[in-house]
């Protein structure tokens, strides 16, 4: 149970998800140095930063323990496919002593995403409840997955129907066994996680919809097209939607017309996550507030949107 606010009411608890090759302690510091660290917000909210579970290939360096929520890879592994891009950059560096290329990639694809879902399920059951979720960078990508899983779960079995449809399709596909096993384990973990998700609001900072294979399997982000395409993430034989998510869709035609409050912040010149990618969240979620910041970061007191962030958060604490 969280501590009480000054007026004796319960502070709302926000699960904070860090970026790529970061950790819970680093995320806590980032939050404290952001707009969310102001007393006017922290008096109403408790921010709980957690580290991703140790990945199959843990990135360790002089600075400490660097985590990731999954391997940033948009497809499935095909034996004989050239090792390029993520996760193959890490595989090349760490291959010695870890096994064959196929063993390494199989381990990555079969463990990281589903292990993240299992980790979050256990976390919410043991340390929850959480009223909101805040994701930065890769944590923002993860938030863009968690919110749809929750909303689809709440739509009278819609998530289960999609998962079962994918199981049937994968079993009848010509994909290799590695690909099928990866997809099915992740789908099962997602199906187990979804019932414990009960966020009342979400915040995505410098994140975007996701183009990884899991999201395409469940069509979580229909019509999303990354500004990074074409890229090494592409799976042979697959294609993306010809157009990106329309900006001016009526709310009832959006993928998620539910009144779930979502705050999104992004920098027009972000060199890590394209602004155009983040902007497409506004065409997917009907109740999105979109604010511009400077840099690949959380909003800070120095940003013009600081007051709007504070007001948005205060609205969450009174709704």
Q: Please state the pTM of the whole predicted model.
A: 0.82
Closest to 175 (Cα-Cα) out of 225, 211, 213, 220: 213
Closest to 205 (Cα-Cα) out of 131, 291, 288, 280: 291
CA dihedral 90→137→132→282, nearest 10 degrees, is -130
Cis omega (within 30 of 0) on the bond before 85? no
| Mean pLDDT of the 280-308 span | 94
The fraction of the chain above a pLDDT of 70, given in percent, is 68
Task: Give the strand pairing for 59-61 and 64-66.
Answer: antiparallel
The pLDDT value given to residue 231? 37
Closest to 293 (Cα-Cα) out of 313, 270, 310: 270
The pLDDT value given to residue 9? 76
Average pLDDT over the chain reads 78
Does position 309 have pLDDT exceeding 50, yes or no?
yes
The pLDDT value given to residue 299? 96
Residue 213 confidence class, pLDDT cut points 50, 70, 90: low
Task: Give the strand pairing for 12-17 and 45-50.
Answer: parallel
The pLDDT value given to residue 92? 39
Residue 219 CB burial class (10 angstroms; 0-12, 13-18, ≥19): middle
The pLDDT value given to residue 184? 80
The pLDDT value given to residue 315? 96
| Mean pLDDT of the 36-42 span | 96
Residue 106 confidence class, pLDDT cut points 50, 70, 90: very low
Structure letter (DSSP) for residue 22: B
Does position 239 have pLDDT exceeding 90, yes or no?
no
Alpha carbons 147 and 42: distance in angstroms, whole number: 23
Architecture, CATH, for domain 12-318 = 3-Layer(aba) Sandwich (3.40)
- Asked whether 134 and 141 are in contact (CB, 8 A), the reply is no
| b/e sequence 65-86, b meaning 16+ C-beta within 10 Å | bbbbbbbbbbbbbeeeeebeeb
Residue 306 confidence class, pLDDT cut points 50, 70, 90: very high
Alpha carbons 17 and 297: distance in angstroms, whole number: 13
Structure letter (DSSP) for residue 4: B
Least confidently predicted of 52-56, 108-112, 209-213: 108-112
Does position 308 have pLDDT exceeding 60, yes or no?
yes
pLDDT digit string, tens, across residues 153-171:
999 889 999 888 876 655 5
Highest averaged pLDDT of the listed ranges 91-100, 101-110, 183-192, 227-236 = 183-192
Residue 216 confidence class, pLDDT cut points 50, 70, 90: confident
Residue 217 CB burial class (10 angstroms; 0-12, 13-18, ≥19): buried
| Domain boundary assignment for the chain | 12-318
Least confidently predicted of 106-110, 130-134, 282-286, 297-301: 106-110
| Mean pLDDT of the 130-135 span | 98
Residue 235 confidence class, pLDDT cut points 50, 70, 90: very low
Record the tokens describing residue 94, joined without a space: 């760490």
The pLDDT value given to residue 82? 41
Residue 228 confidence class, pLDDT cut points 50, 70, 90: low
């Amino acid at each position: 149970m969280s501590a009480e606010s000054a007026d004796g009411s319960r502070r709302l608890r926000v699960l904070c998800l860090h970026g790529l090759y970061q950790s819970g302690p680093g995320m806590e510091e980032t939050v404290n140095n952001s707009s969310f660290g102001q007393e006017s917000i922290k008096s109403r909210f408790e921010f709980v930063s957690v580290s991703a579970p140790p990945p199959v290939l843990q990135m360790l360096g002089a600075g400490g323990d660097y985590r990731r929520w999954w391997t940033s890879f948009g497809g499935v592994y095909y034996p004989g496919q050239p090792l390029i891009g993520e996760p193959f950059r890490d595989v090349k560096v760490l291959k010695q002593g870890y096994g064959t290329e196929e063993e390494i990639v199989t381990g990555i694809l079969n463990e990281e995403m589903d292990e993240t879902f299992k980790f979050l399920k256990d976390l919410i059951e043991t340390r929850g409840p959480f009223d909101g979720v805040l994701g930065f960078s890769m944590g923002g990508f993860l938030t863009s997955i968690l919110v749809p899983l929750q909303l689809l779960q709440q739509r009278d079995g819609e998530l289960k129907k999609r998962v079962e449809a994918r199981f049937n399709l994968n079993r009848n596909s010509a994909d290799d066994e590695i690909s099928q096993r990866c997809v099915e384990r992740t789908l099962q973990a997602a199906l187990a996680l979804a019932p414990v998700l009960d966020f009342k609001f979400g915040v995505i900072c410098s994140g975007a919809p996701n183009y990884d294979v899991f999201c395409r399997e469940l069509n979580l982000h229909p019509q999303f097209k990354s500004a990074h395409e074409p890229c090494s993430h592409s799976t042979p034989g697959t294609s993306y939607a010809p157009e990106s998510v329309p900006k001016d869709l009526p709310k009832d035609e959006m993928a998620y017309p539910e009144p779930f409050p979502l705050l999104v912040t992004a920098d027009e010149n972000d060199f890590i996550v394209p602004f155009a990618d983040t902007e497409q969240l506004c065409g997917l979620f009907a109740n999105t507030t979109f604010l511009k910041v400077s840099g690949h970061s959380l909003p800070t007191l120095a940003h013009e949107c600081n007051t709007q962030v504070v007001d948005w958060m205060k609205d969450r604490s009174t709704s």
